[in-house]
Each structure stands twice: as C-alpha cells, then as structure tokens.
C-alpha cells in the first residue's frame, strides 16, 4: 500500500485530502487487505470509514468525468509500476 500511496502523491501534489481519499479507495480496490488493515495503515479512520470512502468515491467517479479520468490515469500507473499489490 505504501507504493500505491506514493503513486497517488506523485500524481496529486497539492491536495492532501484528495490524495488520502484516492489512496484509500485504490487500496481497497486493488489490494486484498482487510478493511481494518487499510484503516490501520492510513490511520485516523476506522474500517467502516474505509468502506464509506470506497462507496462514496465509486459513486462520485460515475458522476464526475474529471475524477474518473484522474483515477484511470493513476490506475494505469499502478498497474504498470506495481503489478500485484497484495
């Protein structure tokens, strides 16, 4: 998850809140880590919070083309650089 977080930080430099949200979202989507493991890694969030971030970001992604485009770009970087994130 550390490498995933770093990729997101490289792509989104000036918005810490968005960095965190997308890092949590992508960690949930692309790793097999449990919710509580993701929560422990990012801190200041509980497992239910991780689930809510994922659900809300999925919904926002469907409604916001710019966010979807950004996530597609990051996902390509993740797939190229990481392969298997588990």
Angle CA 66–49–15, to nearest 5: 40
Distances (CA, A) of 79 to 10, 15, 30, 46: 15, 23, 9, 27
Quickly state the pLDDT bin for 21 (edges 50, 70, 90). very high
* CATH number of the domain within which 54 lies: 1.10.1750
pTM: 0.92
Is 29 part of a structural domain of the chain?
A: yes
Quickly state the pLDDT bin for 85 (edges 50, 70, 90). low
Q: By residue range, what is the domain housing residue 52?
A: 2-81
Single out the residue of 85, 15, 20, 25 nearest to residue 55, CA to CA: 25
Is 43 part of a structural domain of the chain?
A: yes
Is 32 part of a structural domain of the chain?
A: yes
Quickly state the pLDDT bin for 61 (edges 50, 70, 90). very high
Is 86 part of a structural domain of the chain?
A: no
Report the number of distinct structural domains present in the chain. Answer: 1
């Amino acid at each position: 998850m550390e490498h995933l977080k770093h990729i997101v930080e490289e792509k989104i430099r000036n918005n810490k809140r968005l960095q965190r949200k997308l890092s949590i979202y992508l960690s949930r989507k692309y790793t097999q880590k449990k919710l509580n493991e993701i929560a422990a890694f990012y801190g200041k969030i509980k497992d239910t919070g991780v689930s809510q971030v994922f659900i809300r970001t999925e919904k926002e992604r469907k409604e916001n083309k710019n966010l979807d485009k950004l996530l597609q770009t990051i996902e390509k970087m993740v797939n190229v650089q990481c392969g298997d994130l588990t």
